[in-house]
Amino acid sequence: MPNSFWLFNDIEFPDLEYSIDWPALSLANTQDLSQDSSQDFSQAVSQAWTPFGYTFHWAILEYLVEQYDKDHKISYAEAPEKFLAKQWLFFQVSGQGPYYGQAVWFTRYHPEKLPSAVKRYVDEIHRVTGVLEKALEKGDWLVGDKCTYADLSFIAWQRGVPRFVVDIYEKFPKVGAWMKRMESRPAVRKIIEDQDAAIAEMDGKS
């Protein structure tokens, strides 16, 4: 799932050493949520990051930002920016991830074709992207004058949108430019390459 993969683009910015067991991470994300998959996830994520056993992606992110981004390279120390960044993160968690995930499911994987379900969730992609477009009319980044974890939290799902809505960035050009700015960052480029290689490897074994 993109949330798992893209947790790691954020934590490349603080000088934090890590390793990722991509296959284990993928397995942990495909398990039945009624089962306790925290052990598998913890094995995939370096224990040094999460000594208290956090297993939800963005809980881990908030921990990492607070513990390792002491210079506030991708965060803010004071209000209002500190809490505006949190607000955008919560919007990603509740508004982007679930709806984009359902759009992918009903477009590609659901055994029965349900046009009404596809439309419902593709419409949500347009709505969420429109919210981002409106915010980016005020500047290059969602909060303040720099790229923060709030911006980066959206990359995972937004990156795949053109596969389902090919003209999305013609309609929302500021979001398209914002994505290019983030994807040009060395840490993000590295994770894109690592993610694509890992997915190709796992697809080859399936």
Q: Coil, helix or strand for 1? A: coil
Within-domain flag for 203? no
Within-domain flag for 197? no
Please tell me the chain's helix, strand, coil percentages from 3-state DSSP, rounded to the nearest 5.
Answer: 65, 0, 35
What's the pLDDT tens digit per position in 17-41? 555 555 544 444 444 434 444 444 4
Among residues 73, 102, 129, the one where a domain terminates is: 73
In this structure, the answer to whether residues 99 and 179 fall within a common structural domain is: yes
In this structure, the answer to whether residues 111 and 182 fall within a common structural domain is: yes
Stretch (H or E) spanning 40: helix 38-44
CA distances from 23 to 30, 40, 109, 194, 201 (A): 11, 10, 20, 12, 9
What's the pLDDT tens digit per position in 130-173? 999 999 999 999 999 999 999 999 998 898 899 889 999 999 99
The number of distinct structural domains making up the chain is 2
What's the predicted TM-score (pTM) here? 0.79
The encoded tokens of residue 200 equal 């190709």
Q: Which domain holds residue 172?
A: 81-186
CA–CA distance, 141 with 129 (Å, rounded to integer)? 14
